[in-house]
Amino acid sequence: MKYILVTGGVISGVGKGVIASSFGTILKCCNIHVTSIKIDPYINIDAGTFSPYEHGEVYVLDDGGEVDLDLGNYERFLDVTLHRDNNITTGKIYQHVINKERRGDYLGKTVQVVPHITDAIQEWVERVANQPVSQDGLKPQVCIIELGGTIGDIEGMPFVEAFRQFQFRVKKENFCCAHVSLVPQPRSTGEPKTKPTQSSVRELRGLGLSPDLIVCRSENPIGQSVKEKISNFCHVAPDQVICIHDLSSIYRVPLLMESQGIVEFFNDRLQLNIPMPPPRRFMHKWKDLAERVDTLRKEVTIALVGKYTKLEDSYASVTKALQHAAVYAGYKLKIKYIEAATLEEETKLTEPVQYHEAWQQLCKSDGVIVPGGFGKRGMEGKIKACEWCRKTSKPFLGICLGLQAAVIEFGRNILQLQDANTTENVPDTPHPIVIDMPEHNPDQKGGTMRLGKRFTVFTQSNSILKSLYGKQDRIEERHRHRYEVNPKYVPDLEAAGLKFVGHDEDKVRMEIIELEGHPYYVAVQYHPEYLSRPLSPSPPFLGLILASCGRLSSYLARGCRLSPKSLSDHDSGEEDINQKEISLVERQAKLLNEYAELFDGQLDEDEPIIQFQEKLNLCDGSVGSSEVL
């Protein structure tokens, strides 16, 4: 097993998560199996009890682990399935050690930070690093470990000491330390300042870890002279200084790294035996994705109505899922963050300007999403947004609490249950349309919700979401909720037109709603954003984007296929290409991908497909027959 430790200096939030994910992406493109571990030095057992304002969103894994949002970056970049133990916290380590002490495992010895806590950290890392995370079930070859916070934080000291020992435990050729540091460029002088990086590296080396690689983060590109200066003062060779400036999208970070020789460095430093040079189409999927993101022209505007909108990281996975869907459909995404409370009548009286501006943003949007959340604040604003979307036929997607808000709104205004509410906010409401789940609502808050991957069964064949999911009878998605729709009200709601098209396997819990006669009024109890990937967008999000662009009907009519010519290139919703032509382009693309390696050095990436077909001698300018394909 090879280990890459990623540490950070100068400031937090410097981009360690994206850097660590990019390392993994590059290695995975070299056919290396990669896993990741995120270390958070806080004493909480997990991220489940955090307010999003404290630490960004809470990310949920298949096994129900509530973890740091950086694990979402790892899963999206690497397309792997991580486990709750891939997120290490100080609380978990101390709990583990204290439980061993209570059992008498230490045979009466005095339990101390060194060696007992540091040993527990090392043993945890070694155990988790060997757990398969990819679909093929193979053991990983490289484990990338991100140490949260900055070097010098008192909370992170036991972990730094643990890895000081760990580098000798696994031997030098199996351990590499990459230090991510900020190189500021003050406007007063305009020149990059390397002193913060020098100080950070000096402190790291003083703690016993000498970085093998220094990743310099900056606003603008850094010149060769600055790299050489960092090399001289930080005890590394110039080619061990990687400079990552602000880019047009995060998908360009792995490409910029690769251009600076990171593959050759890891191959030599960790003895990975990667064939050199890399193949001709190395990382071509990421190149295509980055190029596509940068060349999109037409925009789609989505209003996100939430209660944590002051910190965009609160909805990191939601915004990523929206972006994945928009890029797939051929549109540039523009998100308008709307504080739910500003849509309420009370705000109209106290802050009229803020109220009208919020409603103006909502009305000008192409589609609306109401994400999950907890608590009373902003709930009435979310209900107002649901009502507006229902009445105006505006494309709408509700997630978790968004579904509950949509059901409450429908009960109040269509079933005339004026006092309908959720027992979370009004325990004694006369019409509890949303109720708590007793088995998931004990006195303890941490890790007691309905969490993790669970099945949802479609109950109707004409469901929009069922079509978007490929007409599967049941799907698996990740959940995180403590309240659910009251089954007692379901018959009346369905009779009025709000269809519950998805249930859990026991047909007790309502999972999906769709509104009859509406172009796209969909809400789900689960969190589809957690399984969205850059090259495989989540179906509910894709449906919202397509409906917001006026393309959903044609997409469904094609059997859930996009037109070969980007949807964003058309001004009308008319059918512009028949199914035969769609099939032709798909088969040509398949040929190109499968056989390009056979003509290494003879076929350029931009070469027209027709020339490629002539080289294969499969056809005379027309598409090859199905037998040939």
Annotated catalytic residues are 400, 527, 529
Residue 380: closest CA among 349, 335, 417, 422: 422
End-to-end CA distance of the chain: 41
* Residue 594 burial by Cβ neighbours in a 10 Å radius (0-12, 13-18, 19+): exposed
Closest by Cα among 328, 323, 336, 314 to 248: 323
Angle between helices 401-413 and 379-392 (to 10 degrees): 70
Paired tokens of 361: 């943003």
Q: Classify residue 459 as exposed, middle or buried by CB count within 10 Å of its CB (0-12, 13-18, 19+).
A: middle
The two tokens of residue 556 are 């469904």
Q: Which residues make beta-bridge pairs with 499?
A: 514
- Rounded to an integer, what is the distance from CA 170 to the centroid of its chain? 31
* Beta partners for residue 336, in sequence order: 303
Whether the Cβ atoms of residue 67 and residue 113 lie closer than 8 Å to each other: no
**Position 369, amino acid:** I
Place of tokens 């006092």: 419
Please give the structure tokens belonging to residue 270. 């960790």
Residue from 204, 216, 208, 212 nearest 237 by CA: 212
Q: d(Cα 363, Cα 358) in Å, to the nearest integer?
A: 9
d(CA 422, CA 595): 57
**Residues comprising the chain, all counted:** 629
Cβ(453)–Cβ(62) under 8 Å?
yes
Do you find a cis peptide bond into 279, omega within 30 degrees of 0? no
Helix (H, G, I), strand (E, B) or coil at 2: strand
Q: What is the DSSP letter of 488?
A: G
**β-strands 396-399, 367-370: how paired?**
parallel
What is the distance between the alpha carbons of residues 540 and 521, in angstroms, rounded to a whole number? 11
Distance CA 149, CA 491 (A): 51
Question: How many CA atoms lie within 13 Å of 426's alpha carbon, on the beta-carbon side?
Answer: 14
CA dist., res. 589 & res. 595, Å (int): 10
CA dihedral (352, 353, 358, 359) positive or negative: positive
Q: How many CA atoms lie within 13 A of 167 on its CB side?
A: 18
H or E segment and range at residue 47: none
Contact between residue 182 and residue 10 where contact means Cβ atoms under 8 Å apart: yes
Rounded to the nearest angstrom, the gap between the alpha carbon of residue 578 and the centroid of all alpha carbons in its chain is: 35
